[in-house]
Amino acid sequence: MANTLSIDVSEWIDRHRVAPFQVAIVVLCFLIVAIDGFDTASIGFIAPVIRAEWGLSPAQLAPVFGAGLAGLMAGALAFGPFGDRFGRKRLLLACVACFGIASAASASAGGLTELIAWRFVTGLGLGGAMPNAITLTSEYCPARRRSLLVTTMFCGFTIGSALGGLAAASLIERDGWRAVLVVGGAAPLLLLPMLAWRLPESVRYLVNTGAPRERIAAMLARIAPDPHLAHASFVAPRGK
């Protein structure tokens, strides 16, 4: 074909209305961030119970909080940029699995050192999930709606934190502090199959890594069907 239409995927998304496909991405990333908020806040709610059960002083318990925050920082710094190399979806699934398994494993901790180690690993997953969820949502949102949709998605963190407090109060009273960590681990692991099934890969990543154009065209067609997509080539300038 002599004159192949070249489509900038970011500009193409900007030209079209928000479709149910994009709303689903916002909802799925909202759920990831909500679970992130739940797990981040939950340790604060169970800390007094752990302290009483294990006979710890506030100073002895402080490293549990520090380990989680250190993991968050390390995860964000280490895994955030990896999305450009390995794909946003792939990395999100790995991070969600990481913090789900680590949170559930935290519930079996038999002592302070073990709990600190698992909280650090949990933080790694949480820290890696957040920037990739934000970036994936942003990439699929048209510029005129991007701020609203990304902010809506990020509200999941606050809602998850609030639900963490409500759930912790009930779970601690009925089943003990370990149940809070079990729930915090089970939720992302239960969400994982849905993410694998419904969450798309970053379209910019697909373009920049030379994915088949049929796959890219099919992805964009879920936003707005267009007969020109079948015969187009796709670009995603890295500077945008």
Do the Cβ atoms of 130 and 76 come closer than 8 Å? yes
Lookup: tokens for 132: 């990739």
Kindly state which CATH superfamily the domain 22-216 is placed in. Answer: MFS general substrate transporter like domains (1.20.1250.20)
Q: Which long-range contacts (CB under 8 A, 24 or more apart) does 22-25 make?
A: 22/140, 22/141, 22/149, 22/223, 24/198, 25/136, 25/137, 25/140, 25/199, 25/200
Q: What local confidence, expressed as pLDDT, does residue 217 receive?
A: 94
Do the Cβ atoms of 176 and 168 come closer than 8 Å? no
Tens digit of each residue's pLDDT (9 = 90 or more) over 200-229: 999 999 999 999 999 999 999 999 998 889
Q: What are the angstrom distances between the C-alpha of 229 and each of 6, 37, 139, 214, 222?
A: 9, 39, 19, 8, 11
Q: What local confidence, expressed as pLDDT, does residue 1 receive?
A: 44
Lookup: tokens for 235: 């670009």
- Where b means 16+ CB within 10 Å and e means fewer, 73-91 reads eebbeebbebbbeebbbbb
Do the Cβ atoms of 149 and 161 come closer than 8 Å? no
Give the pLDDT means over successive 10-residue stretches in the chain (240 positions): 77 95 97 93 91 94 94 90 87 96 95 96 94 94 95 95 88 93 96 96 93 94 91 79
Q: What local confidence, expressed as pLDDT, does residue 81 receive?
A: 79
Q: What local confidence, expressed as pLDDT, does residue 83 receive?
A: 80
Does the global pTM surpass 0.85?
A: yes
